[in-house]
Structure 1
Amino acid sequence: MLDAAVRWVAVSELADPTPYLEGGELLLTTGMRMEGDQSQYVARLVARGVAGLGFGVGVSHEEVPPALVTAAEEAGLPLFEVPRETPFIAIGKGVSELLAAEQYDEISRAFAAQGRLTRAALRPEGMHAVIDRLAKEVGGWAALLDEAGEVRHATRGANTEAVVSELSRLRTATRPSAPRHPESGRAAEPRPVEPGRHPEPGGLTEPGPSGETGAGGGGGGGRVGALPASLALSGPGEHIVVQPLGGGARPRGFFAVGGGQPFSPVTHTVINAAGSLLTLALEQGRTQLEAARRARSAVLELLLSGAREQARAVLEPLGGRLPEEPLAVLAAGADALEALEPLAFAALLTGEGALADRPLAVALVPDTVAEKVALEADAPVGVSLPCGYAPEGLNGALDQARRALAAAPGSGGGPGKGRGRVVRFAELAGQGLLGLLDRAAAQAFATALLAPLTAYGSRADLVESLRAYLDSNGHWDAAAQRLGVHRHTLRYRMKRVTELLGRDLDDPGVRAELWLALEATRR
């Protein structure tokens, strides 16, 4: 008990001073009310967490009462004698000065650690160097995770499985609940963190309904995938703190720190400093990335307008270069841009060049590797025919890639006939004229054109009769035989079709429109 931490000095002559104590105090008394057995008095002090008891002699007692000595010894409470010549205020001042010196030393160590972390952030390794330095500062391990919870960098001995498991559980939980340490299985009770204090190990804090910080297990309806503002896990011999990265409402990553002992307030300060540096590096990197992406989008616009030399001049300072001809144009959803950027010249296209008012990721690649690059996108991709940088050919290839993307599985277009989720325009063109038409537009056209026939109240199926007539190239006998009716019956039906549609079936243009409409209804 002699190594108990002293938080403050308190003086009391009450028979039971514990209601006025917080724990960790060095209690001073002259024993004015002490008589007889003192075991209950000492037991109350120990239960409250008093660090020690100083007894001033020469006032009420000439020596420390033997009953108090016995009770303190049995309870393990540190007890010492304060001579009459030593005023209690001197002890209070001495403890206060020691606490101030200790706090100054802690602050100095925290500032020194922050300086080392800052220097680490300036190294070429950037965020990875900060993680490595942080592990040394806390005497444990550290890890960096992306927004999906995937580990990007970790020091030796990092218990990343515990962190990934807990983040995954919180993402899929219908409402936040007390986290459990993966090894011990012991629940970490959520509790609020007071302003100016750090979350204790085993505590969980997260934004409340209005954004304030409160207990993680608060009432209200469940929020699927709610992530905590900070997370602390405790288990046998291990304490872990996880904090989000990024300045927005949605984390752009996480970092975790673990050690064998609970982290002190100074260590929490160092951890928070590392979090600020990591967030700053993340935001700066994203800002630079967005600037480079805007520049590449401008380059693509210049290429489409025929200004190839100006496009090269803009691209050169970025360290990029355009592929040699012949090239292919790849089109994919905006989410595929990040996967395409390391493999090709890729840019985001908006406005008129986009697909159905959605931004379009466009990549220019040598035609020989087009499909290989497209497969790396792990998303629906449309691939054009080979082309060059001439504006007519490049714009045409972009249109081909867009049309192929619309037919790719999972793109919101047609079922797709390409390999997996990659569709080449050459394969799409092989499906005939209808394969080049927008599915929704073709079906709307067919519905409107054939509406008078589908609404006809007769038992005769005029739509199927028209289909047989056109498929038989206008030959009455062949069409009637296909339908299993007399040719005069078919002639009557075609007369009704002509009247209802108000169109001449002998006109080749009318026949072509009707054939397209009938084919569109089959798809």
Structure 2
Amino acid sequence: MTAITPLHLEVLAGSEALDRKVRWVAVSELEDPTPFLEGGELVLTTGMRLSAEGALPYVSRLVARGVTGLGFAVGLGHEDVPPELVEAAADAGLPLVEVPRDTPFIAIGKAVSELLAAEQYEEISRAFAAQGRLTRAALQPEGMNAVIERLAREIDGWALLLDAAGAVRHAARAGRPSERARALEPELARLRAPGAPSSIAVSTPGDHVIVQPLGRRGFFAVGSVRPFTPIGHTIVNAAGSLLTLGLEQGREQRAADLRVRAAVLRLLLTGETAAAGEILAAIGGELPAEPLVVLACDTDEPAAQGLPYGGLTVVLARADEAEDAIGRAAGRGRVGASGPVGYAELAVGLDQAERALASAAPVARFPELAGQGLLSLLDPAAAAAFSAALLAPLREYGSRADLIESLRAYLACNGHWDAAAQRLGVHRHTLRYRMKRVSELLGRDLDDPAARAELWIALSAG
């Protein structure tokens, strides 16, 4: 309102509200122009149909409609602004200005139009400048984190970068980020649902929040104590585009890096250690010194220095640093570790790590499993199936369990008839007969050490 003072307008009432934004200028001589208004207008009138008694209802209707101000032209229908109108405007807090006869309404309309155009240009300029600062932030080494920091400053509020599960990846000026993230769970659930909106805005007294998805890989949220203006929405949308692009570029870069690391592992397994080291050095990696321990990690998120291998991540660690590497890898999933090997025995180390990973333990070390016996190295389900298949003829023979127990005692006593018969409490000729039936049912020679070994494994796993 103060910007149109060169038009010689005199403020008669409502000076405390002169900072209200004018959206447009409306000229009307109707007793009730409000049906033709949207709110935010500066209404200009000569008061042709305005009486002293109608001043208060007239002002009340304008205020209820959200009119920004009232301009009253003198020298036509009224020589002076009616005091009843001045009093009603003052009581309602409605800015009332006197328009001199020499100032045409069209001049006021043009002045307001120019001011609105200048304001819009300024907003666009601010938006472009903010986008430029956000773009420069995105090019920094911190990437998306820098964008979040810049965004919080641009909106004079807080900002969060969240992963797909809603956990905080980075926060700027957010106070207690974890609490804010938990408070956003209903909005995140809506954005994950089919047919979800492109963004969600939530307003509460003193807190205005916008949440947007970043593809399927995460979300970001911003908040301010003041409602977001159009330029604020523009800045938030620009930040969303940069964050989405950053995620996609990061994903592509990680995929390319993983392909290179997979090639490094293939070279190592074929004995091309020097070539593998050169390729790894090109992407900032380094082969550990021998002896080394091979880790097979069952995780959806490859370790930073991991080498993809099928559905696993393989980590090579110096033997003296293996426990630290196991601890870091265990935070992402199950881990199997080999014994110390050299690069020439890398395939053996990888096999040991995979066998250790196949055990039921979250963290398993092959040397420890080997010390627990051969069965600890076998897959439990496969061992049980082997046992059931091999011993099935004995279990099915007349539903008698004495053949299996007799075989167990015979093998435990290393084929000594007297010792085994004494353990079972039977005559040794009875034991001989039973072992003959076992040999016939299984089709195996019990004097063969290989057959004895398989039968002992089957009995232990059954």
Q: Tell me which interval the TM-score lies in, with the shorter structure as reference length.
A: 0.7 to 0.9
Specify the alignment match of 1:516 in structure 2: 457
Specify the alignment match of 2:14 in structure 1: none
Q: Are residues 144 and 208 of structure 1, via their aligned partners in 2, closer, same or farther at CA, if it must alter by over 3 Å?
A: closer
Structure that is richer in helix per residue = 2
Query: Letter of the aligned partner of 2:307 in structure 1?
Result: A
The 5-angstrom pairing of residues 38-77 of structure 1 reads 38-57=55-74, 61=78, 63-77=80-94
Q: Are residues 336 and 131 of structure 1, via their aligned partners in 2, closer, same or farther at CA, if it must alter by over 3 Å?
A: closer
Q: Are residues 511 and 50 of structure 1, via their aligned partners in 2, closer, same or farther at CA, if it must alter by over 3 Å?
A: same
3-state DSSP class of the match of 1:441? helix
Q: C-alpha separation between the residues in 1 aligned to 2:301 and 2:161? A: 23
The reply to whether residue 104 of structure 1 matches residue 45 of structure 2 is no
Specify the alignment match of 2:295 in structure 1: 330
Q: 2:139 aligns with which of 122, 125, 131?
A: 122
Q: Are residues 456 and 86 of structure 1, via their aligned partners in 2, closer, same or farther at CA, if it must alter by over 3 Å?
A: farther
Deviation of 1:95 (Å):
1.7
Larger Rg: 2
The 5-angstrom pairing of residues 293-332 of structure 1 reads 293-332=258-297
Residues 372-404 of structure 1 show CA distances to partners (whole Å, capped at 9, x for unaligned) of 2111112321111222122xx111111011111
Deviation of 1:29 (Å):
3.7
Specify the alignment match of 1:92 in structure 2: 109
The 5-angstrom pairing of residues 182-197 of structure 1 reads none
The reply to whether residue 380 of structure 1 matches residue 396 of structure 2 is no
3-state DSSP class of the match of 2:300? helix
The 5-angstrom pairing of residues 207-246 of structure 1 reads 209-213=194-198, 229-230=199-200, 232=202, 234-236=204-206, 239-244=208-213, 246=214
3-state DSSP class of the match of 1:337? coil
Q: Are residues 116 and 481 of structure 1, via their aligned partners in 2, closer, same or farther at CA, if it must alter by over 3 Å?
A: same
Query: Letter of the aligned partner of 1:375 in structure 2?
Result: G
494-503 vs 424-433, greater mean Cα deviation: 494-503
Residues 213-261 of structure 1 show CA distances to partners (whole Å, capped at 9, x for unaligned) of 4xxxxxxxxxxxxxxx45556454x5555545x4x3231x63x545553
Q: C-alpha separation between the residues in 1 aligned to 2:205 and 2:407? A: 77
Number of aligned residue pairs: give it: 443
3-state DSSP class of the match of 1:209? coil
Query: Letter of the aligned partner of 2:450 in structure 1?
Result: G
Specify the alignment match of 1:191 in structure 2: none
Specify the alignment match of 2:374 in structure 1: 433
TM-score, normalised on structure 2?
0.82
Over the matched positions of the two proteins, sequence identity in percent amounts to 63
3-state DSSP class of the match of 1:473? coil
The reply to whether residue 7 of structure 1 matches residue 23 of structure 2 is yes
The reply to whether residue 26 of structure 1 matches residue 21 of structure 2 is no
Query: Letter of the aligned partner of 2:86 in structure 1?
Result: V
The reply to whether residue 291 of structure 1 matches residue 256 of structure 2 is yes
Q: C-alpha separation between the residues in 1 aligned to 2:64 and 2:34? A: 9
Deviation of 1:14 (Å):
4.5
Query: Letter of the aligned partner of 1:72 in structure 2?
Result: A
372-381 vs 454-463, greater mean Cα deviation: 454-463
3-state DSSP class of the match of 2:228? coil
Residues 475-516 of structure 1 show CA distances to partners (whole Å, capped at 9, x for unaligned) of 455445544566666566555544544444454433332221
3-state DSSP class of the match of 2:254? helix
Q: C-alpha separation between the residues in 2 aligned to 1:14 and 1:464? A: 110
Q: Does the aligned pair in 2 maintain the 1:149–1:164 contact within 8 Å?
A: no
Q: C-alpha separation between the residues in 1 aligned to 2:178 and 2:45? A: 53
3-state DSSP class of the match of 2:94? coil
Q: Are residues 515 and 433 of structure 1, via their aligned partners in 2, closer, same or farther at CA, if it must alter by over 3 Å?
A: same
The reply to whether residue 453 of structure 1 matches residue 394 of structure 2 is yes
Q: Does the aligned pair in 2 maintain the 1:371–1:383 contact within 8 Å?
A: no
The reply to whether residue 362 of structure 1 matches residue 314 of structure 2 is yes
Query: Letter of the aligned partner of 2:364 in structure 1?
Result: V
Deviation of 1:209 (Å):
3.0
6-15 vs 107-116, greater mean Cα deviation: 6-15
Q: Does the aligned pair in 2 maintain the 1:375–1:422 contact within 8 Å?
A: no
Q: C-alpha separation between the residues in 2 aligned to 1:265 and 1:502? A: 86
3-state DSSP class of the match of 1:335? coil
Specify the alignment match of 1:348 in structure 2: 308
RMSD of the TM alignment (CA)? 3.3
Q: Are residues 137 and 460 of structure 1, via their aligned partners in 2, closer, same or farther at CA, if it must alter by over 3 Å?
A: closer
List alignment gaps of at least 5 residues for structure 2.
1-16
Q: C-alpha separation between the residues in 2 aligned to 1:63 and 1:303? A: 97
Specify the alignment match of 1:167 in structure 2: 181
The reply to whether residue 473 of structure 1 matches residue 438 of structure 2 is no
Q: C-alpha separation between the residues in 2 aligned to 1:488 and 1:89? A: 127
